[in-house]
Structures are given as structure tokens and as C-alpha cells.
Structure 1
């Protein structure tokens, strides 16, 4: 069950009321696998008592700024080195895996060993089509699922990042550092994969999310940003140039 939150806006002041952020998929291929981001909420918790944590304004404020992106796949992956010492991923589910072995390499990538942050912690990446856009200053911070309990914790840590989605809309990547390679990496479809926190220039303004249209203007703008990470070391240095060529409006809520 999902719920929606609406906020009042002063139509004479575009900077009042909520900051609207749009989400969309950069590709329609297999789009049915990818659920809409959901606002983080303490569901099925005790709200009857006035002092319940579920009714604490600080908790409500915090949760209102986080959105959950769920895992689209069931995966059970192991890590090993082949007879030449090269690191490789292993599909531990074998024939019982919902994901065909031939497709696994298209979902998960083992980052080149020389690019690992730590020599004993392999880095695994999952490319995702989730993308966010806003028409005013809005920063996205991608981080781990700190409010989700797993009986079998992940054998490592998720590392994300922070960037302005209003001038740098890009598909998100799930990145994982594998601390204990003797333990499998298990992901379950429908479980939280990571959180997105949104913040604008004014910290007290709430966030409202809508599904966005992938308009020709948005596609053209993103094409100009596409792949630049392969050619420069510091993509943040390009923000000013990106802002200079950005159309005045890129967020168009999707009609139902």
C-alpha cells in the first residue's frame, strides 16, 4: 500500500511549498521490474501513544526526506579468484537462479582491481535506469538502507555519493564494497537496495516526488552529459558548463 503526501504552495512564490523532484527510467527495457521509489515510512508501528517514536516530529521530518529504491532482482553471488588469480563473480544459485547466467554480467560488474578503494575489498557495481530531475537546486545523497533490518547482513558496505540532480541528471549506480568475500552477496527482489535523500537550499522545505516525462529536451540535455566520466577525472568541474546549456525547465510531470 502506497500513500501520497501533498503540501500547500504559495502560487505567487515559486520557492514556497515543496521542492518537486521527478523520477524516471532512462530505458523502458524491462521497465516493469523497476518499482517506483517510495517514501521511507515506519509502517505498521505503534502510533497510538502520544510519545511513540512513530509520532516524533524529528522522526517524521527525517523520513519525509528519504526515498527507498528497491532491488529489482534476486541474486546470490559469490567471489573467487580463477586459476590465474583474476577476481571473478560466481552465480551461487546455479540453475535455480531467476537470472540467467548469460545475463548476470549485464547486471553486475566487478570493477577493475586497480580501481578498488582498498586492495582487499572488491567493488561490485549494478547499473540501474533510475534517474531524478528537478527545476531548482536539489541535491541527492545516495546511501545505504540504515533503517532496514536484515537477518543476514550484507558482507560489506554500500557507498554512494552526493550531486545536484537539477543540473546533473544521471542514471544511478549501486556500488558495493565486499569486506568478507567468504560470505555471499544476497539481494532479494523487493527489498530496499538503497536510499535517496533530497535537500535543497532551504532545509525546511519538504520534498514531493512525481513521475517525470522523458521529454526530447531532457533526453537531449542528458545526451550532452553522457559518458563524460570516461574522459575527465573530476566531473564536478563540468557543473558550471552544464548549467550554462541547461534549458529553463526539464521537469514535466507524467500525465496519467
Structure 2
């Protein structure tokens, strides 16, 4: 098995050909119906009636086709506040009209401890998500802000993601937000883009196909092996090679859906 943690380790080996298959699944099935499947950013609704339209530009098409959007699963309308002791809190501004119960919102939205904020006075909140992505060959995933989607009301802060090898370190994603303008509410509607994912392959010009994969016993065991490592060490990247040595050769098994009736 030659998965390789680092792209440079693949030099001198036979390069892959054809599309790279990236699998995805939800690590929690309870309420999973509310989560949108990943979708390619490129859409058919764009103007292609003119030969010089940007929608026909190969460079634009190539870029957009390499990004996949993850959409918000429920309505969020949040405010930032501090209690009488100065401790930061998140308020659900929808109150009794909120589509998500307060107890469930508290499970999904967390504010990191103030001493862990990257910048003083700028809170960091996290939305826990059940999405996991996996590959059976060297693939790095990068999580970035949805910069190709227009937002009529800009968010009062910035999204930050990360980059990691999904072939050896598949993990549940989360949406992290740094709240720069805490006097302004954070509002995201169900179905709005939360973030994009893009995938680096070997060689770089290979296309990517994203498919839902079965959660097999082998996949479950491997996820259990690496889960929670961040609670024990500071630099989880140092564990990549150890994880690779214990990884099954194949983890992706595409889900077979029954054909829909016309």
C-alpha cells in the first residue's frame, strides 16, 4: 500500500490516472436528513447564451468545477453578548420563533474559551457538523470561505478553515467563525453556503468525483483509531505517518441507491 502522507513521497511512483474518487459520509445519522449533500459550485443557471460569456471560459469552468459547496443545515440568527461577569455568550436572536430547539442549538454551536481566541477581543465560534471526507489515494482537502457566492448582507467576521490529508486523516468537519463586529448579528439561512471544499490531487490536473460512501466496519474502526487525538497532543500532523501504517488499503465503498421512479 502506498498512500503517502506527503505529495513529494509519490515521486518516482506510477502517477494516478482518471478522476480521483473522494468519498463522503455523515458520522452521525440522527437528524441526518437535514444536511445537504456536497455539490459542485458550477451551476447550470449561469448565462451561456453568448460565446464570450465568462460562463463559457475554460479557465473559469476549470476553477469553479474544483470547488464543492457545503450548505447550512438550519437557520442561524445569533448575537454576541457578555454576562455581568464579563463572560462571553451566544444569544439565539430568533427566540421562540427559532426553527431549531435551544437544546439542539447548544449542542451544535460552541464558543471557544476566550484564552484560545486567535485575536484578543475577537470571539471564535464553531458549528459542529457530521461531514467526513475520505480518499483511497493521496488527496489534501482545503476548507475555504464561499467566495463565489454573493451575500447581500456581509457576515460580521471571517471564516477560517484548514488543509489536511483526507486519505490518512479523515475527520468530522466544523465551521469556524471569527466574530470581528460583535455588535452585529450573525445570520445564515438554511441552504446558504457555509464553506467550500477543494481537493488537491496527484497529478494536480486530475478531476475529482465526490460520492457518498458506506460506513463499513473497517471505516468505523479507522475513524475510532484517530478520533480525539487533538485532545492528547498539540501537533496531530505528527501522527499522520503512524495512522497511514495502520490504515486499510481501501475505505471507500460507494452507496448504491435505488433508482427513483419517473
Question: Shorter-normalised TM-score: what interval?
Answer: over 0.9
- TM (norm. structure 1) is 0.93
| Shift, 1:252, TM fit | 0.7
Match of 2:83? 82
Q: How does 1:87-126 map to 2 (within 5 A)?
A: 87-126=88-127
Q: How does 1:140-219 map to 2 (within 5 A)?
A: 140-219=141-220
| Shift, 1:99, TM fit | 1.3
| Shift, 1:102, TM fit | 2.1
Contact 2:15 2:203 in 1 (8 A): no
| Shift, 1:14, TM fit | 8.3
Stretches of structure 2 that go unaligned for 5 or more consecutive residues are 1-13, 258-262
Structure 1 runs (4+) greater than 3 angstroms displaced: none
Contact 1:26 1:171 in 2 (8 A): yes
Stretches of structure 1 that go unaligned for 5 or more consecutive residues are 1-12
| Shift, 1:103, TM fit | 2.0
Match of 2:131? 130
Contact 2:16 2:203 in 1 (8 A): no
Match of 1:226? 227
Alpha-carbon distance in 2 for matches of 1:150, 1:43: 20
Match of 2:72? 71
- TM (norm. structure 2) is 0.91
| Shift, 1:42, TM fit | 4.0
Name which of structure 1's ranges 140-149 and 43-52 shifts more when overlaid on structure 2: 43-52
Equivalenced residue count is: 244
Contact 1:143 1:196 in 2 (8 A): yes
**Any idea what the Cα deviations from partners look like across 1:58-106, whole Å, max 9, x if unmatched?**
1111111100000001011000100000000111111111111222210
Q: How does 1:15-54 map to 2 (within 5 A)?
A: 15-54=16-55
SS at match of 1:162: strand
Contact 2:144 2:160 in 1 (8 A): yes
| Shift, 1:255, TM fit | 1.3
Alpha-carbon distance in 2 for matches of 1:75, 1:173: 15
| Shift, 1:121, TM fit | 0.8
